[in-house]
Amino acid sequence: MADRDFREEFVHFAIQRGVLCFGEFKTKAGRLSPYFFNAGLFNDGDALARLADFYARAILASGLSFDVLFGPAYKGIPLAAATAVALAALGRNTPFSFNRKEAKDHGEGGSIIGAPLHGRVLIIDDVISAGTSVRESIELIDGADATPCGVVISIDRMERGTGSLSAVQEVTERFGIPVVAIATLDDLVRYLGHHPDQADHLAAVEAYRARYGVGS
């Protein structure tokens, strides 16, 4: 129940911040979605601190074993840094690193900044769409002779991609690593179901899930 509580708490927080909003939005796949999630709107100190706390709680609840956090440029950089701070506040002090888009040939050089990539590396990102960021992160981690052990994202839309699998399921199948989400489409539906004033949004989201959704 505690896990469910923080997941629905996250959905409430995202709605309050305007990060999660309802209406009619065209997705990259050309579908008309009744909701939209824009993690870029977690854009002040308080919001980032609260978001990082949700990441930390989701990571600890997952039971994943990890040694280093890695934030892929660019969105993953503040997420990994802030999550490391949040984990330390919860008693789990963890090194973190991130990458540059282009390697430097002067100063400290290279493309990785922060702690060395070693042992089990946990990737911190906002969402998974095409999986490109995950693939690039895994290549960097493999190149450092470390082991990617999972990916943590803010929300899993649980929606079919080009085939029968969701983007999250495709990452798990292709790379053999788990993906942990703070909240999923199931959590959104559960939250809406607990709020009678959101009945119209619930009906639209459930209809969309019935048409495009996948199982967990």
| Nearest to 148, CA basis, from 114, 191, 119 | 119
Per residue in 68-84, pLDDT (tens digit) is: 999 999 899 999 999 99
From the list 12, 28, 75, 106, the catalytic residue is 106
81 neighbors 71 (Cβ within 8 angstroms) = yes
| Nearest to 146, CA basis, from 99, 92, 205 | 99
Distances 70 to 46, 54, 59, 148 between C-alpha atoms, Å? 22, 17, 13, 9
Q: Which pTM was predicted?
A: 0.92
Q: What is the model's pLDDT at position 111?
A: 85
106 is catalytic: yes
From the list 26, 75, 101, 104, the catalytic residue is 104
The architecture in CATH of the region 2-212 reads: 3-Layer(aba) Sandwich (3.40)
Handedness of CA 37, 41, 47, 51 (dihedral sign): positive
Where do we find the tokens 């009906």?
Answer: 203
Residue 169 CB neighbour total at 10 angstroms: 20
Can you list the residues of the chain whose pLDDT is less than 70? 1-4, 103-110, 216
- The widest CA-to-CA distance across the chain, in whole angstroms, is 59
What dihedral angle (degrees, nearest 10) is formed by the CA atoms of 204, 127, 50, 14? -10
124 neighbors 80 (Cβ within 8 angstroms) = yes
Give the start-to-end residue ranges of the domains of the chain.
Answer: 2-212
Q: What is the model's pLDDT at position 1?
A: 46
Question: What size, in residues, is the chain?
Answer: 216
